[in-house]
Amino acid sequence: MSHHVPEGLPGALQHYIGGQLVDSVSGKTFDVLDPVSNTPYVTAAAGQAEDVDRAVAAARTAFVDGPWPRLAPRARARVLNKIADAVEAQDARLAELETFDTGLPITQALGQAQRAAENFRFFAGLVVAQADDTYQVPGRQVNYVHRKPVGVAGLITPWNTPFMLESWKLAPALAAGCTVVLKPAEFTPLSASLWAEIFAGAGLPEGVFNLVNGFGEEAGDALVKHPDVPLISFTGESTTGQTIFRNCATGLKGMSMELGGKSPAIVFADADLDAALDSTLFGVFSLNGERCTAGSRILVERPIYDEFCERYAARARTIVVGDPHDPATEVGALVHPEHYAKVMSYVELGKSEGRLLAGGGRPSGVDSGNYVAPTVFADVAPDARIFQEEIFGPVVALTSFDTEAEALALANNVKYGLAAYLWTSNLERAHTFAQSVDAGMVWLNSHNVRDLRTPFGGVKASGLGQEGGYRSLDFYTHQQAIHVSLGPVHPARFGSVGRGQS
């Protein structure tokens, strides 16, 4: 398989602290692999506690003494719109680097770059339009909400669609007037290295954005524990989320977490079958299956189960797996050899837990790179590990159900609760089922299309708190209540009554 290497790759990836590109104080580095050749193509500075200290100090100075938190919303919005323009102007370059670093198909990486621009554009508009509440007690009091940025935000992002997911945190944090320290995932630090130049070019003051590369156990841990970082936004895996939660407790930090998922797609016999097939195939095989909202369990009503399995598997077998840089590719290479090994172990496990209808290993004729053929297991029991555990790759479990109650029990019978997808032409059933399912987000007769105004987040092991729209601005700001008297105040007059003492 051909191996496309972008021109002009950096020789090394450094931290960006207080407007300067710097190495780790210790000089430590780590290798970054590309997922097609699985060989190192760049070294990145490995951030330690002392590097995080420097980044937080720069962010703290920019917050306390710098102009950013004190700018009018319109002035911050101008900068955010320039950032969006810059991202749009280099979307092809961004996508090329993202594809090279992550193994995502180039057409999908391009969409992610455009979504990143849209995130900045959206929060630029929102922060200008935002109004806060005033409460009047006629003739006696007026009480109003004064909103102010929380401080230095610690942002910890995952390796799947890294640039887009970084924008999802950076845009609202900056819009709210916070300063930030970003710790991107160590598997995929390449596209994050572009933010520094984009932000500087858009006029973001020095120290407002800082980036520390490194491992979660070192750089991420130091950021979470830092006393001058009052809030942490984390997207990643549920067990890491538990560790971060524990470590935030000491500082009573604000936390927003979007964690794993094992989202069900429920297909009733009265569904538009062609649309349901298109959507459920896309829902688990897009982005290489490396997406938290993937519909990785498909529950199908018995009368259409056999036909659905047959048609689904036939389509899955024709999905184009190949060079991530080829526009015809639908599934590229998984991000890293460690993750590839994990996904392949689930594929092997699935052979004893379900009936293999498609895939089941490497695509034929592909000897190197982290390639997994889209894999379909049918007749998977609800207690099977491939039904219960997040695989985060191009692997899906199909299970039949007989009644609506059974479908709901199956849908809710996992520890996760991020998304759910429902296919039925019965309006009443669609709404009642949607409202009963344990999921932060439900799509009815639709694939995963995001409206940036709506809450994004999960229940159970899928997360804590919700972001999106005004909820993101709420997370990055304090809402202070200020109470003003409009007339004489008559509290009880303690100590005012003379007792006749001489």
Active site residues: 258, 292
Cα Dmax for the chain: 105
Please provide the distance, in angstroms rounded to a whole number, between the alpha carbons at the two ends of the chain: 102
Instruction: List the structure tokens of 185.
Output: 């995932």
Q: Phi/psi at 321 (nearest 5 deg)?
A: -105, 130
The closest of 498, 262, 267 to 395, measured between CA atoms, is 262
Whole-angstrom Cα distance, residue 102 to residue 93?
14
Helix (H) or strand (E) holding 120: helix 106-129
The closest of 195, 150, 205 to 173, measured between CA atoms, is 150
Calculate the CA 18 to chain-centre distance. Answer: 26
3-state secondary structure 280-343: HHHHHHHHHHCCCCCCCEEEEEHHHHHHHHHHHHHHHHCCCECCCCCCCCCECCCCCHHHHHHH
Cβ atoms of residues 232 and 253 within 8 Å: yes
Instruction: List the structure tokens of 325.
Output: 């840089």
